[in-house]
């Protein structure tokens, strides 16, 4: 399978404390990789290193052969806009935008015309069962629906990699299960790779590849047969 | 009590961020309180200055016998311009009776002694020509208790009784009122009102902004308390405790800032306005207003800002968008602009109201209504515009900014209101200045100086006519119609040659010397002409026979300089030789004419002072007292504008920063989604510029209308100030540009994912 994202020996320090110590990862197209670990183990820091948001102090991260550390701010923004998707723990939808506008945001940021972007957003929202909510604001829908909208926003532009930081961390188990199922199904159908950071072993069990992180050290835990 | 404890606990125990916010609120409040103290202290400073002027006024006893009069000292006060400032010369001649010296002196000056104010002392060194106005030698300085302000130009000049024939006997010093107030009471009222508009309205906005810092974060915290079981009132009180504590600390800090500022600024002074630091001491009412008023205002603002969290905590916890602002906000604006529109219409159609009673109530009310209305309509107007633009635009940045303004119109209001109110008040301040300028300035290219002919000796007259800077001189006197009653109108007679005439006016037609001519300026209002051949009598006094001249038929056309009225149309031009050399006509005035530039005026006045130190000179068209007043008013208004600008800018900075800080998680999310930095900057600028532009546009339009209403009802002839408009527009555009640029640094360059990981 085609490798979209690789990281080798990456380190990240916050002052004197090392958040990530020599982590390495290989992510293939359509692969779902989960990183588990206790709070403060450095898994979110690793996620943002892989996304090129936090610059690594040692090692390198490559996306489709390009070293992220060599890219300037504009190129990194472009990468995040066009090739990456993000799902945050609390959704981080823009409260002033409608559901549809939130979902269409990556396409609009990428310069796509309003009508096309909204059509794509409506399509994804429909696949996630949110078509009826498109004119509402995030404050007018439930927490689970908000997180689905965040998933729609992450996948609307069919990114190569989706970075998900505790995507179901703010939801109850029923909602979490449903959102995760829809998220991963949609990602797989689009052949988008996913880096999933979670402290929940059950969530991680849904991934193709599982890593654990303890005190900044990343270790491969296992791969599923999928 | 529990609310107080919880509020205090939240205040000091909520981490570094909260303490920083508290410090910001307190510092912001202190700037506001300092400005408030300045505004409230200004009337006190003016009163103290007038009090010292009143204290140096000679007390003139009534029903004085001749013997008593000759025992008392004499005084004569002359106030003439030194540039645009009055130079007050108090001539004194000792009597046989000893009296207390004037304030600031140890004794009544003896003949030849001159005591001057410190500023005049400096000027005498810099410009020795000025000494001509002060006959004698400088003996000492006048103390502060004898001066209105440090920069005042005052001199006590000791003379012999013989040198002061017009002097008035006096028995001591100290009257209740100064002859002219530093700022006239009516002007002071206007000044107070304008200062209130410039400073206090933005101040109220600013304090509200400070009290609502980190509104969203605090609202969530308060909503949590409400959900945990606190009553709505308790939640509001908890928030009020925080804002009151910050306002109280700000008030103390602000008074300290004022104390330092008063000390420093009283030494440095403002242009045309200086004061002693003791005059600027805080009065008990000012202390009360600052220490009680501001925390009280903060209490109400604190309670009001917690209302939403108290009433609907769930919506706050879920960051629901703001409720639609009420349409009632338009009421004050509609009412106020209706009134000013009516006055503007009346002025434009030539129906300016004569009754000032009603106008003096309506116009200020309209101004206040518009000021309040500008603030209350801004959220609705901005929300409406933002909604429409967001729907129609294809620009991502514009769409995001507009959605933000649509969702949070209150935030837009807090950002823009201070500057909007300031610009509105600035246009009003322009109106006040125009109104005052109409009565004080000599806008003519020539300046004339009138002196009573009988108060001058022949030698003095000749010297005055030769003074450097004097371009012409004429004698103007009254005439009487032979055979008519004394009250019957008759023309004035101008004793001058054709050459002199040409130096006085801008244009003269065919003029013939050595014969009377009728003067005629087509542009001037015409008195009824005297029939040719009628006999006009000139009373020459001094035991001489009256001189008779025939009203001439022949006319000399001339044109006065713009804004000058030296001769008057239908006056009779007669040869100077008509007046006998030793004549002492009571009605005659010697009129000197010079250019009107300040240097020439000063030089001529110095020269007059040298030739005839105690003569009463009337510089026509130059109201030096009013000039001094307008200088003070201008300075105070400028001070108000500076304070207003400080408050407006501070309100903007605080509100915009606060908005940006509250917005950081969303901006971080946007950056992570790949929004370009320029998109983020464009969003930031646009969401600030829209409410500001809308508000400022309304402020300029309504401000000019309100200014015009003020001018229409002010009794002046100018109803519309077109010349001030470009300055106002440029200033307004400058405000928008600076605000837009100022908002750019609020978009952080570094993406910090931590910002979206914590609630």
Query: What ipTM was estimated for this complex?
Result: 0.84
Q: Looking at the partner chain, which of B319, B404, B679 has a beta carbon nearest the beta carbon of A139?
A: B319
A116 → chain B, closest CA residue: B394
Q: Map out the domains of chain A as residue ranges.
A: 31-41+77-223
**Residues facing B572 on adjacent strands:** B493, B518
Separation of alpha carbons B395 and A156, rounded Å: 19
Element (H, E) at B482: none
**Does the pLDDT of residue B69 top 70, yes or no?**
yes
**Does the pLDDT of residue B758 top 50, yes or no?**
no
Predicted confidence at residue B676, as pLDDT, reads 84
Identify the three-state secondary structure at position B725. helix
pTM higher than 0.80 for the full model? no
Dihedral sign, CA of B455, B461, B467, B473? positive
Confidence class for position B441, pLDDT limits 50, 70, 90:
low
Q: Chain B residues within 8 A (CB-CB) of chain A?
A: 315, 318-321, 394, 396, 399-400, 403-404, 406-408, 665-666, 668-677, 679, 749, 751, 753, 756-757, 759
Residue B749 Cα to chain centre, angstroms: 44
**Residues facing A194 on adjacent strands:** A32, A162
Identify the three-state secondary structure at position B675. coil
pLDDT tens digits for B570-589? 788 889 888 887 777 888 89
Predicted confidence at residue B356, as pLDDT, reads 66
Separation of alpha carbons B449 and B752, rounded Å: 75
CB within 8 Å: B676 and A94: no
Do B451 and B742 form a contact (C-beta atoms < 8 A)? no
**Does the pLDDT of residue A226 top 60, yes or no?**
no
- Separation in Å, CA of B15 to nearest CA in chain A: 21
- Which pair of tokens denotes residue B535? 């006999």
**Does the pLDDT of residue B494 top 80, yes or no?**
yes
Dihedral sign, CA of B347, B349, B350, B351? negative
Question: What mean pLDDT is reported for chain B?
Answer: 82
A156 → chain B, closest CA residue: B673
Q: Looking at the partner chain, which of A96, A110, A139 has a beta carbon nearest the beta carbon of B318?
A: A139
Q: Beta strand A84-87 with A66-67: parallel, antiparallel or unpaired? A: unpaired
Mean pLDDT of all residues in B608-631: 76
- Which pair of tokens denotes residue B645? 């600008």
Residue with tokens 């201070």: B418
Residue B630 CB contacts under 8 Å (≥ 6 apart), including other chains: B433, B436, B437, B440
Q: Which residues of A touch B749 (CB under 8 A)?
A: 73
Separation of alpha carbons B450 and B596, rounded Å: 14
pLDDT tens digits for B171-197? 889 888 887 777 777 777 777 777 777
**Does the pLDDT of residue B724 top 70, yes or no?**
yes
Separation of alpha carbons B495 and B475, rounded Å: 5
Q: Map out the domains of chain B as residue ranges.
A: 1-55+178-320, 58-173, 324-438+677-759, 446-621
Distances (CA, A) of B468 to B18, B498, B601, B614, B746: 72, 21, 10, 20, 63
**Does the pLDDT of residue B561 top 90, yes or no?**
no
Identify the three-state secondary structure at position B270. strand
Q: Chain A residues within 8 A (CB-CB) of chain B?
A: 44, 48, 51, 53-54, 73-74, 77-82, 84, 86, 88-90, 92, 94-97, 101, 105-106, 108-110, 113-114, 137-140, 153, 165
CB within 8 Å: B677 and A51: no
**Does the pLDDT of residue B317 top 70, yes or no?**
no
Separation of alpha carbons B238 and B303, rounded Å: 8
pLDDT tens digits for B458-490? 888 889 999 999 988 989 988 888 777 767 778
Q: Looking at the partner chain, which of A80, A97, A113 has a beta carbon nearest the beta carbon of B672?
A: A80
> Does the structural domain A31-41+77-223 have CATH classification 3.40.50.300?
yes
- Separation in Å, CA of B306 to nearest CA in chain A: 20
Do B260 and B128 form a contact (C-beta atoms < 8 A)? no
């Amino acid at each position: 399978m085609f490798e979209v994202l690789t990281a080798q020996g990456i380190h990240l320090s916050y002052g004197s404390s090392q958040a990530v110590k020599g982590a390495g990862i290989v992510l293939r197209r359509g692969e779902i990789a989960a990183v588990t670990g206790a709070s403060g183990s450095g898994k979110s820091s690793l996620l943002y290193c892989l996304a090129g948001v936090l610059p690594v102090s040692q090692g390198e991260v490559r996306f489709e052969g390009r070293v992220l550390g060599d890219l300037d701010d504009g190129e990194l923004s472009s990468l995040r806009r066009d090739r990456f998707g993000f799902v945050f723990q609390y959704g981080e939808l823009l409260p002033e935008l409608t559901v549809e506008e939130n979902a269409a945001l990556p396409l609009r940021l990428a310069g796509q015309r309003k009508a096309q972007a909204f059509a794509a957003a409506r399509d994804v929202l429909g696949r996630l069962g949110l078509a009826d909510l498109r004119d509402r604001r995030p404050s007018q829908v439930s927490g689970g629906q908000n997180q689905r909208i965040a998933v729609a926003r992450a996948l609307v532009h069919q990114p190569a990699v989706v970075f998900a930081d505790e995507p179901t961390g703010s939801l109850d188990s029923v909602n979490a299960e449903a959102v995760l199922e829809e998220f991963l199904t949609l990602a797989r159908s689009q052949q988008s790779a996913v880096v999933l950071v979670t402290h929940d072993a059950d969530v991680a069990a849904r991934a193709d590849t599982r890593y654990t992180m303890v005190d900044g050290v990343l270790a491969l835990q296992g791969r599923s047969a999928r | 009590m529990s609310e107080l404890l919880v509020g205090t606990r939240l205040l000091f125990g909520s981490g570094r961020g909260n303490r920083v916010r508290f410090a910001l609120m307190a510092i912001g409040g202190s700037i506001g309180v300092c400005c408030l103290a300045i505004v409230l202290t200004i009337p006190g400073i003016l009163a103290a200055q007038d009090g010292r002027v009143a204290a140096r006024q000679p007390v003139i006893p009534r029903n004085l016998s001749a013997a008593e009069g000759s025992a008392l000292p004499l005084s004569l006060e002359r106030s003439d311009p030194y540039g645009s400032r009055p130079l007050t010369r108090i001539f004194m001649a000792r009597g046989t009776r000893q009296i207390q010296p004037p304030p600031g002196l140890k004794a009544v000056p003896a003949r030849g002694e001159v005591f001057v104010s410190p500023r005049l002392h400096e000027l005498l060194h810099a410009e020795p020509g000025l000494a001509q106005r002060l006959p004698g030698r400088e003996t000492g300085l006048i103390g502060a208790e004898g001066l209105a302000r440090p920069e005042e130009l005052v001199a006590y000049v000791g003379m012999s009784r013989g040198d002061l024939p017009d002097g008035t006997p006096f028995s001591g010093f100290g009257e209740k009122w100064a002859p002219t107030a530093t700022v006239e009471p009516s002007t002071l009222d206007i000044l107070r009102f304008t200062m209130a508009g410039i400073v206090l309205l933005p101040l109220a906005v600013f304090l509200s902004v400070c009290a609502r810092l980190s509104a969203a974060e605090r609202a969530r915290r308060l909503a949590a308390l409400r959900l945990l079981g606190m009553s709505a009132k308790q939640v509001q009180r908890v928030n009020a405790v925080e804002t009151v504590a910050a306002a109280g600390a700000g008030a103390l800090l602000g008074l300290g800032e004022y104390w330092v500022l008063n000390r420093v600024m009283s030494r440095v002074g403002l242009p045309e306005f200086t004061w002693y630091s003791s005059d600027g001491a805080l009065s008990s009412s000012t202390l009360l207003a600052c220490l009680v008023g501001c925390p009280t205002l903060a209490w109400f603002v604190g309670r009001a800002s917690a209302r939403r969290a108290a009433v609907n905590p769930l919506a706050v916890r879920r960051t629901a968008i703001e409720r639609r602002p009420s349409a009632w906000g338009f009421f004050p604006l509609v009412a106020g602009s209706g009134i000013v529109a009516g006055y503007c219409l009346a002025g434009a159609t030539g129906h300016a109201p004569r009754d000032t009673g009603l106008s003096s109530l309506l116009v200020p009310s309209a101004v206040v209504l518009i000021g309040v209305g500008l603030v209350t309509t801004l959220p609705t107007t901005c929300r409406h515009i933002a909604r429409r633009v967001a729907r129609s635009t294809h620009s991502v940045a514009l769409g995001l900014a507009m959605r933000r303004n649509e969702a949070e119109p209150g935030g837009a209001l807090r950002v823009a209101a201070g500057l909007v109110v300031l610009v509105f008040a600035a246009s009003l301040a322009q109106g006040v200045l125009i109104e005052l300028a109409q009565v004080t300035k000599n806008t003519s290219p020539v300046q004339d100086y009138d002196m009573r002919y009988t108060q001058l000796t022949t030698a003095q007259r000749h010297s005055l006519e030769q003074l450097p800077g004097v371009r012409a001189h004429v004698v103007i006197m009254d005439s009487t119609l032979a055979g008519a009653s004394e009250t019957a109108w008759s023309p004035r007679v101008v004793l001058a040659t054709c050459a002199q005439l040409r130096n006085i006016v801008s244009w003269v037609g065919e003029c013939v010397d050595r014969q009377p001519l009728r003067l005629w300026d087509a542009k001037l209002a015409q008195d009824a002409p005297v029939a040719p051949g009628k006999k006009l009598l000139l009373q020459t006094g001094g035991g001489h026979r009256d001189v008779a001249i025939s009203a001439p038929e022949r006319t000399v056309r001339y044109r006065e300089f713009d804004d000058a009225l030296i001769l008057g149309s239908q006056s009779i031009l007669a040869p100077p030789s008509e007046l006998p050399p030793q004549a002492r006509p009571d009605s005659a005035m010697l009129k000197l004419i010079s250019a009107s530039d300040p240097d020439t005026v000063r030089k001529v006045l110095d020269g007059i002072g040298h030739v005839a130190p105690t003569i009463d000179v009337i510089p026509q068209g130059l109201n030096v007292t009013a000039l001094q007043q307008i200088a003070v008013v201008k300075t105070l208004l400028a001070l108000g504008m500076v304070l207003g600008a400080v408050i407006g800018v501070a309100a903007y900075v605080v509100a915009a920063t606060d908005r940006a800080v509250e917005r950081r998680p969303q901006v971080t999310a946007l950056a992570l989604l790949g929004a370009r930095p320029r998109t983020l900057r464009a969003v930031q600028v646009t969401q600030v510029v829209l409410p500001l532009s809308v508000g400022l546009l309304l402020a300029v339009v309504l401000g000019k209308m309100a200014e015009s209403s003020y001018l229409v009802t002010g009794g002046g002839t100018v109803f519309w100030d077109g010349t001030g408009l470009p300055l106002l527009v440029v200033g307004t555009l400058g405000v928008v540009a600076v605000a837009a640029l100022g908002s750019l640094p609020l978009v952080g360059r570094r993406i910090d994912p931590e910002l979206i990981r914590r609630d």
